[in-house]
Structure 1
Amino acid sequence: MKVKYNFAFFDEGSKREIRRATLKAVAIPGYQVPFASREMPIGRGWGTGGLQLTLSLIGREDILKVIDQGADESVNAVNIKKLVKKTTGVETTDETDKATLIQSRHRIPEVPLKMGQILVLQVPIPEPLRLVEPSEYRTKRLHRDKEYSGAWLMLFEQIIKYGTMATGADHPVMVNDRYVMAPSPIPRFDNPKMNYSELLILLGAGREKKVYAVPPYTKVESLAFEDYPFQKENFEDKHCGLCGKTGVYMDELVDKNTGQTYYQCNDTSNCLKTLNEERFYNEDL
């Protein structure tokens, strides 16, 4: 028997409730808005927060792109894409510049995003103070009072121990000079992309039942000290072993045959696009 779903899986009341929480999040940049996280046909922790945002916002004319740590073809990305397509019938794409709605886990695409696009980031732990304060009641009071000494102390301890800030991902940011926010586990390389970006960035945590946002043209600064400024991962002297691209976030890999280390673009669709452009250029020559 063929199962019939409502458009975008949810009933209309559920979508309206999630949209109301999203509107509040957009109105107060960086503020964590609680919402009634729904049961999903995937386990919590596999992107249910981002998926609920996507399903509540997507329209019939949208073009969807889903990526997981830079890859369009990973298990998580493929299955989320299948679920959304099955319940909406919308067009999907691997090309960042063609997508109107992008759901991502742990990366912001390399291709500069523009006005009119929406980026939905999956978030496991939305509270940037959770490592220093386990109580939800107390973290809410700390945000109310703009008391973020715990976040600064966490970075200071890293400097004392390692000689530098050692946040490999999810480095906390200050949004609109008001709220300290967890940017989801994106690498430090992606943090500057949030600052005064042209697109709307939404962040959803299904297990923690929170949604928050960075509206277009919003100030986003990574926490850092004057004598220990924020530094993103440096790939200036590296190039992709496939497409030759430089200045992008790369994965460090080891050749099984030779044991030599090489680098490859983390954003697989951007890498493939560069390869196709070079092939087309060489054929014209």
Structure 2
Amino acid sequence: MNIQKSFSEAAQRLTGSLYLVATPIGNLEDMTFRAVRTLKEVQLIAAEDTRQTRKLLTHFEISTRTVSYHEHNKRASGSELIRLLLEGQSIALVSDAGLPAISDPGADLVKEAVENQIPVIPVPGANAALSALIMSGIPTERFLFAGFPPRDRKSLMKWLGDVKGRKETLLFYESPHRIGKTLDALLECLGNRSIACIRELTKRHEEAVRGHISECIEWFADNPPLGEFCIVVEGIDEAVSQKQALEGAWWSELDLAAHVAHYEEQYDRKEAIKKAALDRGLPKRDVYNEVNR
């Protein structure tokens, strides 16, 4: 059990706090007042790429000491950052762009901090996936962020097979030199769904290509993709989902009477009708009337 009261004086006296600070995803005006203040007040900034982060810090006249924390040094650097936090120093974690700890080694540092009862405090801001979602025109009620697709085709097709039946809108990132192959795989595995391919978010060349997957394939054949992409794909249609579920059911080739008869080998008729109705998503009365004509 771990209870965090982020801003209690007692918690801050015992250890430092780990701040997860969002940075701009393109436009420097994405930076919040709170983010600038936090980066000035902490004792240390842990950055994915210190060269990239220094440009941001210079722009906002932030002189806080910066250290490197990335995928290749996270084990050694992470334990040192935890030691400093336990000694009472507060540290801000930043990625190159957007929110840290999403498809990012920062998630490991957060896990270690939580295990050591160190307060982890988000400083929200820009996020590419959610920005793409809200401008896509595709339903936003439920969504699944899937990170980066696998590179090789076999792994990619398996990855798509795992999400093809999801009803949620799908979000993932892709690079410009791979988007053509990924769109081809999407069309093959998911069908010709609605999609939005959004690039250069918040930058001067921000662009959203919306349509069906086949239309986007044609567009990029004539307009070579540039910049990093966020891909937004509609989830599976409810009717298609139900059809696929029925086609994959053990009883799909049985008529209703045979379906009920199968259950009557184990249960009485009333229970058999109930189970068949549940399988097919039908009212019990409709099944009863059909098999008792």
**TM-score, length basis structure 1:** 0.26
More helix, by proportion: 2
